[in-house]
Amino acid sequence: MRLSELLAALPSDAAARPVNAATVGDPVIRGLAYDSRQVTAGDLFFALPGSEVDGHDFIPQAITLGAAALIVERLPAGIDTNRCPAVAVRDSRRALAPVSAHFFGQPAEELTLIGITGTNGKTSTSYLVESILLQMGRHAGLIGTVEIRYAGERERAVNTTPESLDLQRTLRAMRNRGVETVVMEVSSHGLELGRVGGCRFDVATVGNVTQDHLDFHGTMDAYRDSKVQLFSRHLEGDAVAVINLDDPTARVFLDAARAVGARILQVSRAAASGAEILLTSAEVQLDGTRAAVRTPVGEVELKLPLVGDFNIENMLVACGVAVGLGATSEQIAAGIEACPQVPGRVERIGSEIAGAPTVIVDYAHTPDAVEKLLQTLRPLTDARLITVFGCGGDRDRGKRPLMAEAVARYSDLVVATSDNPRTEDPERILTDVEAGLKDLRRVAPSALGGARNAYVTLTDRREAIALAIDIADAGDMVVIAGKGHEDYQILGRTKFPFSDCEEAQLALARRVAP
Protein backbone atom coordinates (compact mmCIF):
# COMPACT_ATOMS: atom_id res chain seq x y z
CA MET A 1 0.00 0.00 0.00
CA ARG A 2 1.38 3.42 -0.93
CA LEU A 3 1.98 6.17 1.62
CA SER A 4 -0.35 8.50 -0.29
CA GLU A 5 -3.23 6.03 0.06
CA LEU A 6 -2.75 5.83 3.81
CA LEU A 7 -2.50 9.60 4.15
CA ALA A 8 -5.81 9.91 2.29
CA ALA A 9 -7.45 8.12 5.23
CA LEU A 10 -6.59 10.99 7.58
CA PRO A 11 -9.42 13.39 8.48
CA SER A 12 -9.18 16.89 7.09
CA ASP A 13 -8.34 18.37 10.49
CA ALA A 14 -5.22 16.21 10.83
CA ALA A 15 -3.26 18.98 9.10
CA ALA A 16 -0.93 16.52 7.35
CA ARG A 17 1.90 18.17 5.48
CA PRO A 18 5.26 16.96 4.15
CA VAL A 19 8.17 18.12 6.27
CA ASN A 20 10.14 18.47 3.04
CA ALA A 21 7.89 18.51 -0.01
CA ALA A 22 10.74 17.76 -2.39
CA THR A 23 11.73 14.54 -0.67
CA VAL A 24 8.53 12.91 0.60
CA GLY A 25 7.93 10.68 -2.40
CA ASP A 26 5.38 7.89 -2.24
CA PRO A 27 7.02 4.76 -0.82
CA VAL A 28 5.32 1.40 -0.51
CA ILE A 29 4.28 0.78 3.11
CA ARG A 30 4.47 -2.84 4.25
CA GLY A 31 3.55 -2.36 7.89
CA LEU A 32 2.84 0.11 10.69
CA ALA A 33 4.69 0.62 13.97
CA TYR A 34 4.72 3.04 16.90
CA ASP A 35 7.42 1.23 18.91
CA SER A 36 10.80 1.81 17.29
CA ARG A 37 12.02 -1.56 18.59
CA GLN A 38 9.40 -3.33 16.49
CA VAL A 39 10.09 -1.52 13.21
CA THR A 40 10.91 -3.72 10.21
CA ALA A 41 11.87 -2.78 6.66
CA GLY A 42 9.11 -0.92 4.85
CA ASP A 43 7.17 0.20 7.93
CA LEU A 44 5.49 3.55 8.43
CA PHE A 45 6.68 4.69 11.88
CA PHE A 46 4.44 6.87 14.05
CA ALA A 47 6.32 8.99 16.59
CA LEU A 48 3.93 9.18 19.56
CA PRO A 49 4.56 11.53 22.49
CA GLY A 50 3.96 9.84 25.85
CA SER A 51 3.89 10.67 29.54
CA GLU A 52 7.31 9.10 30.15
CA VAL A 53 9.00 8.73 26.74
CA ASP A 54 8.61 10.49 23.41
CA GLY A 55 8.62 8.49 20.20
CA HIS A 56 10.27 11.41 18.42
CA ASP A 57 13.45 10.64 20.35
CA PHE A 58 13.58 7.20 18.72
CA ILE A 59 13.22 8.25 15.10
CA PRO A 60 16.91 7.52 14.31
CA GLN A 61 16.47 3.96 15.61
CA ALA A 62 13.34 3.50 13.46
CA ILE A 63 15.20 4.71 10.37
CA THR A 64 18.13 2.41 11.09
CA LEU A 65 15.73 -0.57 11.29
CA GLY A 66 14.28 0.25 7.87
CA ALA A 67 11.31 2.58 8.32
CA ALA A 68 10.05 3.65 4.88
CA ALA A 69 8.38 6.85 6.15
CA LEU A 70 7.57 8.76 9.33
CA ILE A 71 4.47 10.36 10.82
CA VAL A 72 5.57 13.03 13.28
CA GLU A 73 4.35 16.08 15.14
CA ARG A 74 7.77 17.67 14.79
CA LEU A 75 11.04 16.60 13.23
CA PRO A 76 14.06 16.70 15.53
CA ALA A 77 17.19 18.34 14.16
CA GLY A 78 19.54 16.14 12.19
CA ILE A 79 16.96 13.77 10.68
CA ASP A 80 17.70 13.09 7.00
CA THR A 81 14.34 13.22 5.18
CA ASN A 82 16.07 12.29 1.92
CA ARG A 83 16.68 8.88 3.46
CA CYS A 84 13.26 8.55 5.12
CA PRO A 85 10.45 10.97 4.18
CA ALA A 86 8.40 12.45 6.99
CA VAL A 87 4.86 13.83 7.21
CA ALA A 88 3.90 16.17 10.05
CA VAL A 89 0.43 16.00 11.61
CA ARG A 90 -1.25 17.85 14.43
CA ASP A 91 -1.58 14.74 16.63
CA SER A 92 0.32 11.60 15.66
CA ARG A 93 -1.61 9.36 18.05
CA ARG A 94 -4.96 10.40 16.59
CA ALA A 95 -3.52 9.98 13.09
CA LEU A 96 -2.57 6.39 13.95
CA ALA A 97 -6.20 5.26 14.34
CA PRO A 98 -7.66 6.06 10.89
CA VAL A 99 -4.47 4.97 9.12
CA SER A 100 -4.48 1.67 11.02
CA ALA A 101 -8.16 1.09 10.25
CA HIS A 102 -7.51 1.70 6.53
CA PHE A 103 -4.36 -0.44 6.48
CA PHE A 104 -6.24 -3.43 7.90
CA GLY A 105 -9.27 -2.96 5.65
CA GLN A 106 -11.73 -1.38 8.10
CA PRO A 107 -12.35 -4.58 10.12
CA ALA A 108 -14.82 -2.88 12.46
CA GLU A 109 -17.25 -2.57 9.55
CA GLU A 110 -17.34 -6.36 9.24
CA LEU A 111 -18.04 -6.97 12.93
CA THR A 112 -20.77 -6.30 15.46
CA LEU A 113 -19.01 -4.19 18.10
CA ILE A 114 -20.23 -3.92 21.69
CA GLY A 115 -18.53 -1.16 23.72
CA ILE A 116 -18.68 -1.27 27.51
CA THR A 117 -17.64 1.82 29.45
CA GLY A 118 -17.99 3.03 33.04
CA THR A 119 -15.68 3.20 36.04
CA ASN A 120 -16.34 -0.13 37.74
CA GLY A 121 -17.66 -3.45 36.46
CA LYS A 122 -16.58 -3.29 32.81
CA THR A 123 -14.74 -6.60 32.95
CA SER A 124 -17.51 -8.52 34.73
CA THR A 125 -20.09 -7.06 32.35
CA SER A 126 -18.01 -8.08 29.34
CA TYR A 127 -17.74 -11.66 30.62
CA LEU A 128 -21.51 -11.82 31.14
CA VAL A 129 -22.20 -10.46 27.65
CA GLU A 130 -19.73 -12.87 26.09
CA SER A 131 -21.38 -15.80 27.88
CA ILE A 132 -24.81 -14.79 26.56
CA LEU A 133 -23.42 -14.40 23.04
CA LEU A 134 -22.14 -17.96 23.16
CA GLN A 135 -25.60 -19.16 24.15
CA MET A 136 -26.96 -17.24 21.15
CA GLY A 137 -24.62 -19.24 18.92
CA ARG A 138 -22.48 -16.26 18.01
CA HIS A 139 -18.75 -16.49 17.40
CA ALA A 140 -17.52 -13.93 19.90
CA GLY A 141 -14.26 -12.23 20.76
CA LEU A 142 -13.38 -10.26 23.88
CA ILE A 143 -11.02 -7.33 24.42
CA GLY A 144 -10.55 -6.06 27.96
CA THR A 145 -8.55 -5.45 31.10
CA VAL A 146 -7.65 -9.08 31.78
CA GLU A 147 -7.04 -10.44 28.31
CA ILE A 148 -7.90 -10.61 24.63
CA ARG A 149 -9.43 -13.92 23.55
CA TYR A 150 -11.06 -15.33 20.46
CA ALA A 151 -11.20 -18.58 18.48
CA GLY A 152 -9.02 -20.43 20.99
CA GLU A 153 -6.44 -17.61 21.17
CA ARG A 154 -5.61 -15.88 24.48
CA GLU A 155 -3.38 -12.86 24.85
CA ARG A 156 -2.61 -10.92 28.01
CA ALA A 157 -3.91 -7.35 27.91
CA VAL A 158 -1.51 -4.42 28.14
CA ASN A 159 -4.17 -1.70 28.35
CA THR A 160 -7.89 -2.01 28.97
CA THR A 161 -8.39 -0.59 25.47
CA PRO A 162 -5.42 -1.34 23.19
CA GLU A 163 -3.56 1.32 21.22
CA SER A 164 -5.38 1.86 17.92
CA LEU A 165 -2.84 0.00 15.78
CA ASP A 166 -2.99 -3.05 18.08
CA LEU A 167 -6.77 -2.80 18.23
CA GLN A 168 -7.24 -2.72 14.44
CA ARG A 169 -4.75 -5.57 13.97
CA THR A 170 -6.66 -7.61 16.55
CA LEU A 171 -10.05 -6.88 14.99
CA ARG A 172 -8.74 -8.02 11.60
CA ALA A 173 -7.31 -11.20 13.13
CA MET A 174 -10.62 -11.87 14.88
CA ARG A 175 -12.62 -11.47 11.68
CA ASN A 176 -10.20 -13.67 9.76
CA ARG A 177 -10.77 -16.40 12.37
CA GLY A 178 -14.54 -16.26 12.00
CA VAL A 179 -15.45 -13.93 14.87
CA GLU A 180 -18.75 -12.12 14.28
CA THR A 181 -19.24 -10.11 17.46
CA VAL A 182 -16.66 -8.39 19.67
CA VAL A 183 -17.19 -7.33 23.28
CA MET A 184 -14.79 -4.53 24.12
CA GLU A 185 -14.07 -2.63 27.32
CA VAL A 186 -13.70 1.01 26.31
CA SER A 187 -11.75 3.07 28.83
CA SER A 188 -11.74 6.83 29.30
CA HIS A 189 -8.08 6.84 28.21
CA GLY A 190 -8.97 4.85 25.11
CA LEU A 191 -11.62 7.40 24.17
CA GLU A 192 -9.69 10.53 25.07
CA LEU A 193 -6.54 9.39 23.28
CA GLY A 194 -8.41 8.31 20.15
CA ARG A 195 -7.59 4.59 20.42
CA VAL A 196 -11.05 3.59 19.17
CA GLY A 197 -10.90 5.90 16.15
CA GLY A 198 -12.21 4.01 13.13
CA CYS A 199 -14.66 2.00 15.25
CA ARG A 200 -18.43 2.37 15.06
CA PHE A 201 -20.22 0.46 17.79
CA ASP A 202 -23.51 -1.35 17.35
CA VAL A 203 -24.11 -1.36 21.11
CA ALA A 204 -22.69 0.99 23.75
CA THR A 205 -23.21 0.66 27.50
CA VAL A 206 -22.45 2.61 30.64
CA GLY A 207 -22.94 1.27 34.14
CA ASN A 208 -21.51 3.95 36.41
CA VAL A 209 -19.14 6.91 36.56
CA THR A 210 -17.34 7.42 39.87
CA GLN A 211 -14.02 9.00 40.85
CA ASP A 212 -10.98 7.59 39.07
CA HIS A 213 -8.15 8.73 36.78
CA LEU A 214 -8.32 12.36 37.86
CA ASP A 215 -4.55 12.48 37.54
CA PHE A 216 -5.17 12.22 33.78
CA HIS A 217 -8.53 13.95 33.28
CA GLY A 218 -8.25 16.65 35.94
CA THR A 219 -11.94 16.90 36.88
CA MET A 220 -14.91 14.57 37.21
CA ASP A 221 -16.73 16.46 34.45
CA ALA A 222 -13.82 15.91 32.05
CA TYR A 223 -13.64 12.24 33.07
CA ARG A 224 -17.37 11.78 32.47
CA ASP A 225 -17.25 13.64 29.16
CA SER A 226 -14.49 11.37 27.90
CA LYS A 227 -16.81 8.40 28.41
CA VAL A 228 -19.71 10.21 26.76
CA GLN A 229 -17.65 10.17 23.55
CA LEU A 230 -18.49 6.47 23.15
CA PHE A 231 -22.10 7.53 22.60
CA SER A 232 -21.65 10.90 20.87
CA ARG A 233 -18.83 9.97 18.45
CA HIS A 234 -18.88 6.21 18.01
CA LEU A 235 -22.53 5.20 17.65
CA GLU A 236 -24.43 4.89 14.38
CA GLY A 237 -28.04 6.00 14.21
CA ASP A 238 -29.40 2.45 14.35
CA ALA A 239 -27.21 1.46 17.29
CA VAL A 240 -28.38 0.48 20.78
CA ALA A 241 -27.45 2.43 23.92
CA VAL A 242 -27.79 0.62 27.27
CA ILE A 243 -27.74 3.06 30.17
CA ASN A 244 -28.04 2.50 33.93
CA LEU A 245 -30.64 4.98 35.18
CA ASP A 246 -29.52 4.50 38.78
CA ASP A 247 -26.22 6.30 38.16
CA PRO A 248 -26.29 10.09 38.71
CA THR A 249 -24.62 10.71 35.34
CA ALA A 250 -27.26 8.80 33.35
CA ARG A 251 -28.93 11.95 31.96
CA VAL A 252 -25.78 13.06 30.14
CA PHE A 253 -25.45 9.69 28.42
CA LEU A 254 -29.15 9.60 27.57
CA ASP A 255 -28.90 13.01 25.92
CA ALA A 256 -25.86 11.90 23.89
CA ALA A 257 -27.60 8.71 22.75
CA ARG A 258 -30.75 10.58 21.75
CA ALA A 259 -28.71 13.14 19.81
CA VAL A 260 -27.36 10.43 17.48
CA GLY A 261 -30.71 8.68 17.18
CA ALA A 262 -29.73 5.49 18.98
CA ARG A 263 -32.30 3.04 20.33
CA ILE A 264 -32.17 3.39 24.11
CA LEU A 265 -32.60 0.54 26.60
CA GLN A 266 -32.63 1.69 30.22
CA VAL A 267 -31.78 -0.56 33.17
CA SER A 268 -32.63 0.03 36.81
CA ARG A 269 -33.38 -1.45 40.20
CA ALA A 270 -36.09 1.16 40.88
CA ALA A 271 -39.67 0.06 40.13
CA ALA A 272 -40.75 3.64 39.37
CA SER A 273 -37.91 4.29 36.91
CA GLY A 274 -39.76 3.15 33.81
CA ALA A 275 -36.69 1.19 32.71
CA GLU A 276 -37.09 -1.45 30.05
CA ILE A 277 -34.75 -3.78 31.98
CA LEU A 278 -35.94 -3.81 35.59
CA LEU A 279 -34.77 -5.81 38.61
CA THR A 280 -37.79 -7.18 40.45
CA SER A 281 -36.06 -9.28 43.11
CA ALA A 282 -32.59 -10.37 44.20
CA GLU A 283 -31.00 -12.51 46.90
CA VAL A 284 -27.22 -12.23 47.29
CA GLN A 285 -25.25 -15.09 48.85
CA LEU A 286 -21.57 -15.97 49.04
CA ASP A 287 -22.01 -18.51 46.25
CA GLY A 288 -23.84 -16.13 43.90
CA THR A 289 -27.11 -14.30 43.37
CA ARG A 290 -30.64 -15.35 42.43
CA ALA A 291 -32.57 -12.58 40.70
CA ALA A 292 -35.66 -11.87 38.65
CA VAL A 293 -35.52 -9.30 35.86
CA ARG A 294 -38.37 -7.86 33.77
CA THR A 295 -37.37 -7.35 30.14
CA PRO A 296 -39.09 -6.64 26.80
CA VAL A 297 -38.72 -10.37 26.04
CA GLY A 298 -40.38 -11.45 29.28
CA GLU A 299 -39.60 -12.01 32.95
CA VAL A 300 -36.28 -13.83 33.39
CA GLU A 301 -35.27 -15.87 36.44
CA LEU A 302 -31.50 -15.67 36.74
CA LYS A 303 -28.83 -17.56 38.65
CA LEU A 304 -25.78 -15.31 38.69
CA PRO A 305 -22.62 -17.17 39.79
CA LEU A 306 -20.71 -13.92 40.38
CA VAL A 307 -20.72 -12.75 44.00
CA GLY A 308 -21.69 -9.25 45.05
CA ASP A 309 -24.64 -6.90 45.05
CA PHE A 310 -22.74 -4.65 42.63
CA ASN A 311 -22.72 -7.48 40.09
CA ILE A 312 -26.49 -7.05 39.84
CA GLU A 313 -25.80 -3.76 38.06
CA ASN A 314 -23.41 -5.53 35.69
CA MET A 315 -25.98 -8.27 35.11
CA LEU A 316 -28.71 -5.74 34.25
CA VAL A 317 -26.45 -4.01 31.73
CA ALA A 318 -25.58 -7.39 30.18
CA CYS A 319 -29.30 -8.19 29.92
CA GLY A 320 -29.81 -4.87 28.14
CA VAL A 321 -27.11 -5.73 25.61
CA ALA A 322 -28.67 -9.14 25.05
CA VAL A 323 -32.13 -7.67 24.47
CA GLY A 324 -30.63 -5.14 22.06
CA LEU A 325 -29.07 -7.97 20.07
CA GLY A 326 -32.27 -10.01 19.92
CA ALA A 327 -31.59 -12.67 22.56
CA THR A 328 -34.44 -14.75 23.96
CA SER A 329 -35.17 -14.97 27.67
CA GLU A 330 -33.87 -18.55 27.64
CA GLN A 331 -30.57 -17.49 26.06
CA ILE A 332 -30.16 -14.69 28.59
CA ALA A 333 -30.80 -17.02 31.55
CA ALA A 334 -28.46 -19.71 30.22
CA GLY A 335 -25.70 -17.21 29.46
CA ILE A 336 -25.86 -15.56 32.88
CA GLU A 337 -25.75 -18.93 34.66
CA ALA A 338 -22.83 -20.18 32.54
CA CYS A 339 -20.63 -17.11 33.09
CA PRO A 340 -17.20 -18.19 34.37
CA GLN A 341 -15.42 -16.74 37.38
CA VAL A 342 -13.93 -13.40 36.38
CA PRO A 343 -10.24 -13.42 37.41
CA GLY A 344 -9.65 -11.24 40.44
CA ARG A 345 -13.26 -10.14 40.76
CA VAL A 346 -14.65 -11.31 44.12
CA GLU A 347 -12.57 -14.44 43.59
CA ARG A 348 -12.61 -16.85 46.52
CA ILE A 349 -9.26 -18.39 47.40
CA GLY A 350 -8.71 -21.65 49.29
CA SER A 351 -12.34 -22.56 49.83
CA GLU A 352 -11.30 -26.22 49.80
CA ILE A 353 -9.16 -25.80 52.94
CA ALA A 354 -11.00 -26.97 56.05
CA GLY A 355 -11.04 -24.50 58.93
CA ALA A 356 -9.68 -21.64 56.82
CA PRO A 357 -11.15 -18.15 56.84
CA THR A 358 -13.02 -16.97 53.78
CA VAL A 359 -10.49 -15.17 51.56
CA ILE A 360 -11.63 -12.90 48.73
CA VAL A 361 -9.41 -11.22 46.12
CA ASP A 362 -10.89 -8.31 44.19
CA TYR A 363 -9.74 -5.62 41.76
CA ALA A 364 -11.60 -2.82 43.58
CA HIS A 365 -9.31 0.21 43.42
CA THR A 366 -11.66 3.21 43.50
CA PRO A 367 -13.67 4.60 46.43
CA ASP A 368 -16.97 3.52 44.89
CA ALA A 369 -15.75 0.01 44.03
CA VAL A 370 -14.31 -0.55 47.51
CA GLU A 371 -17.51 0.77 49.10
CA LYS A 372 -19.73 -1.55 47.06
CA LEU A 373 -17.46 -4.54 47.57
CA LEU A 374 -17.31 -4.29 51.34
CA GLN A 375 -20.94 -3.24 51.66
CA THR A 376 -21.88 -6.51 49.93
CA LEU A 377 -19.47 -8.72 51.85
CA ARG A 378 -20.09 -7.31 55.35
CA PRO A 379 -23.48 -9.07 55.79
CA LEU A 380 -21.98 -12.31 54.43
CA THR A 381 -19.26 -12.34 57.10
CA ASP A 382 -19.83 -14.57 60.12
CA ALA A 383 -17.29 -12.82 62.34
CA ARG A 384 -14.59 -10.22 61.60
CA LEU A 385 -13.98 -8.54 58.26
CA ILE A 386 -10.25 -7.98 57.72
CA THR A 387 -9.30 -5.84 54.72
CA VAL A 388 -5.94 -5.55 52.98
CA PHE A 389 -5.68 -2.67 50.52
CA GLY A 390 -3.41 -0.03 49.07
CA CYS A 391 -3.42 2.82 46.55
CA GLY A 392 -1.40 3.18 43.37
CA GLY A 393 1.52 5.58 43.12
CA ASP A 394 1.79 8.37 40.54
CA ARG A 395 -2.00 8.45 40.35
CA ASP A 396 -4.90 10.49 41.75
CA ARG A 397 -3.96 11.28 45.37
CA GLY A 398 -7.43 12.61 46.13
CA LYS A 399 -9.04 9.17 46.09
CA ARG A 400 -6.65 7.67 48.67
CA PRO A 401 -8.35 8.91 51.86
CA LEU A 402 -11.75 8.27 50.25
CA MET A 403 -10.86 4.63 49.65
CA ALA A 404 -9.58 4.38 53.21
CA GLU A 405 -12.80 5.85 54.61
CA ALA A 406 -14.82 3.24 52.74
CA VAL A 407 -12.57 0.48 54.08
CA ALA A 408 -12.84 1.81 57.64
CA ARG A 409 -16.65 1.93 57.48
CA TYR A 410 -17.05 -1.79 56.95
CA SER A 411 -13.89 -3.43 58.32
CA ASP A 412 -13.07 -4.61 61.82
CA LEU A 413 -9.34 -4.73 61.09
CA VAL A 414 -7.34 -3.12 58.28
CA VAL A 415 -3.90 -3.72 56.84
CA ALA A 416 -2.95 -0.73 54.69
CA THR A 417 -0.15 -1.60 52.30
CA SER A 418 1.38 -0.92 48.90
CA ASP A 419 -0.45 -1.44 45.62
CA ASN A 420 1.73 -0.41 42.66
CA PRO A 421 3.88 2.36 44.18
CA ARG A 422 5.58 3.07 40.84
CA THR A 423 8.02 5.97 41.33
CA GLU A 424 6.30 7.36 44.42
CA ASP A 425 7.52 6.77 47.97
CA PRO A 426 5.32 3.99 49.47
CA GLU A 427 5.43 5.66 52.88
CA ARG A 428 4.06 8.88 51.41
CA ILE A 429 1.21 6.97 49.80
CA LEU A 430 0.38 5.37 53.15
CA THR A 431 0.40 8.79 54.81
CA ASP A 432 -2.34 9.88 52.38
CA VAL A 433 -4.23 6.65 53.09
CA GLU A 434 -4.05 7.07 56.87
CA ALA A 435 -5.97 10.35 56.61
CA GLY A 436 -9.03 8.23 55.83
CA LEU A 437 -8.44 5.71 58.65
CA LYS A 438 -8.78 8.25 61.46
CA ASP A 439 -11.80 6.46 62.96
CA LEU A 440 -9.66 3.37 63.59
CA ARG A 441 -6.82 2.95 66.08
CA ARG A 442 -3.31 2.37 64.78
CA VAL A 443 -1.53 -0.59 66.40
CA ALA A 444 1.65 -2.57 65.87
CA PRO A 445 1.41 -5.52 63.47
CA SER A 446 2.00 -7.94 66.35
CA ALA A 447 -1.05 -6.52 68.19
CA LEU A 448 -3.53 -6.50 65.31
CA GLY A 449 -4.94 -9.99 65.88
CA GLY A 450 -6.17 -9.14 69.38
CA ALA A 451 -7.35 -5.62 68.59
CA ARG A 452 -10.75 -4.20 67.63
CA ASN A 453 -11.42 -1.38 65.16
CA ALA A 454 -7.73 -1.08 64.42
CA TYR A 455 -5.28 -0.84 61.54
CA VAL A 456 -1.63 -1.31 60.74
CA THR A 457 0.54 -0.13 57.86
CA LEU A 458 2.99 -2.43 56.09
CA THR A 459 4.67 -1.32 52.88
CA ASP A 460 5.46 -4.92 51.91
CA ARG A 461 2.29 -6.32 50.34
CA ARG A 462 3.42 -9.92 50.77
CA GLU A 463 3.81 -9.38 54.52
CA ALA A 464 0.46 -7.58 54.64
CA ILE A 465 -1.42 -10.47 53.04
CA ALA A 466 0.35 -13.01 55.24
CA LEU A 467 -0.46 -11.04 58.41
CA ALA A 468 -4.16 -10.72 57.58
CA ILE A 469 -4.54 -14.44 56.87
CA ASP A 470 -2.40 -15.50 59.84
CA ILE A 471 -4.56 -13.62 62.37
CA ALA A 472 -7.90 -14.66 60.80
CA ASP A 473 -10.09 -17.24 62.49
CA ALA A 474 -12.25 -19.76 60.64
CA GLY A 475 -15.34 -17.52 60.78
CA ASP A 476 -13.52 -14.40 59.60
CA MET A 477 -13.38 -12.99 56.09
CA VAL A 478 -10.18 -11.56 54.60
CA VAL A 479 -10.65 -9.22 51.65
CA ILE A 480 -7.57 -8.38 49.56
CA ALA A 481 -8.50 -5.41 47.39
CA GLY A 482 -6.84 -3.43 44.64
CA LYS A 483 -4.87 -5.66 42.28
CA GLY A 484 -7.25 -8.51 41.49
CA HIS A 485 -6.05 -10.42 38.43
CA GLU A 486 -2.72 -8.60 38.15
CA ASP A 487 0.32 -10.86 38.39
CA TYR A 488 2.87 -8.12 38.94
CA GLN A 489 3.73 -5.21 41.18
CA ILE A 490 5.30 -2.03 39.81
CA LEU A 491 8.14 -0.72 41.98
CA GLY A 492 9.88 2.27 40.44
CA ARG A 493 9.62 1.63 36.70
CA THR A 494 10.03 -2.15 36.97
CA LYS A 495 7.36 -4.85 37.03
CA PHE A 496 8.08 -7.65 39.47
CA PRO A 497 6.13 -10.93 39.58
CA PHE A 498 3.42 -10.70 42.24
CA SER A 499 -0.06 -12.18 42.55
CA ASP A 500 -2.52 -11.54 45.37
CA CYS A 501 -4.17 -14.88 44.59
CA GLU A 502 -0.90 -16.80 44.81
CA GLU A 503 0.21 -15.01 47.97
CA ALA A 504 -3.14 -15.78 49.61
CA GLN A 505 -2.85 -19.46 48.64
CA LEU A 506 0.66 -19.63 50.11
CA ALA A 507 -0.45 -17.98 53.35
CA LEU A 508 -3.38 -20.36 53.67
CA ALA A 509 -1.13 -23.35 52.99
CA ARG A 510 1.19 -22.28 55.81
CA ARG A 511 -1.74 -22.36 58.24
CA VAL A 512 -2.27 -26.09 57.66
CA ALA A 513 1.36 -27.12 57.15
CA PRO A 514 2.56 -29.69 59.74
Q: What is the per-residue pLDDT across 52-72, written as a single tens digit (0 to 9) for each?
A: 889 999 999 999 999 999 999
Query: 3-103, what's its fold?
Result: 3.40.1390
Task: Give yes or no for residue 435 having a pLDDT over 90.
Answer: yes
Give the containing element (helix H, strand E) for 409: helix 399-410
Percent of the chain clearing pLDDT 90 (strictly above): 86
As its CATH architecture, domain 107-337 has 3-Layer(aba) Sandwich (3.40)
CB atoms < 10 A from the CB of 261, how many?
Answer: 12
From the list 402, 376, 374, 371, the residue with the least C-alpha distance to 387 is 374
DSSP state of 198: T
Percent of the chain clearing pLDDT 70 (strictly above): 99
Task: Give yes or no for residue 401 having a pLDDT over 90.
Answer: yes
Task: Give yes or no for residue 333 having a pLDDT over 90.
Answer: yes
From the list 158, 175, 29, 193, the residue with the least C-alpha distance to 106 is 175
| 249-269 average pLDDT score | 97
Question: What pLDDT was estimated at residue 84?
Answer: 86
Task: Name the band, by pLDDT with cuts 50, 70 and 90, for residue 38.
Answer: very high
Question: What pLDDT was estimated at residue 15?
Answer: 79
Task: Name the band, by pLDDT with cuts 50, 70 and 90, for residue 497.
Answer: very high
Compute the distance between CA of residue 61 and CA of residue 88 in angstroms, rounded to an integer.
18
Task: Give yes or no for residue 20 having a pLDDT over 70.
Answer: no
Compute the distance between CA of residue 232 and CA of residue 332 in angstroms, rounded to an integer.
28
Task: Give yes or no for residue 78 having a pLDDT over 90.
Answer: no
Give the distance between the most distant pair of CA atoms in the chain.
79
What's the CA angle centered on 304, arms 301 and 308, to 5 degrees? 125
pLDDT digits (tens, 9 = 90+) for 269-309: 999 999 999 999 999 998 899 999 999 999 999 999 998 88
Entry pTM: 0.89
139 phi-psi bin (left φ>0, alpha ψ -120 to 50, beta other): beta
Question: What pLDDT was estimated at residue 514?
Answer: 67
Task: Give yes or no for residue 23 having a pLDDT over 60.
Answer: no
Mean pLDDT, all residues of the chain: 94
Helices (H) and strands (E) in the chain, counts: 16, 25
Looking at 334-435, which runs of residues are DSSP E strands? Answer: 347-349, 358-362, 385-391, 413-418
Task: Name the band, by pLDDT with cuts 50, 70 and 90, for residue 214.
Answer: confident
Task: Give yes or no for residue 405 having a pLDDT over 80.
Answer: yes
Compute the distance between CA of residue 126 and CA of residue 245 in angstroms, rounded to an integer.
19
Among 15-29, 155-169, 308-322, 444-458, the minimum mean pLDDT is found in: 15-29
Q: What φ, ψ does residue 466 adopt, rounded to 5°?
A: -60, -45
Q: Where are the domains of the chain?
A: 3-103, 107-337, 347-512
Query: Are the CB atoms for 113 and 199 separated by under 8 Å?
Result: yes
For the domain made up of 347-512, the CATH class stated in words is: alpha beta
Task: Compare 84 and 378 and report the one with higher pLDDT.
Answer: 378
Compute the distance between CA of residue 428 and CA of residue 220 in angstroms, rounded to an integer.
24
From the list 10, 11, 46, 4, the residue with the least C-alpha distance to 28 is 4
Question: What pLDDT was estimated at residue 477?
Answer: 97
Question: What pLDDT was estimated at residue 370?
Answer: 96
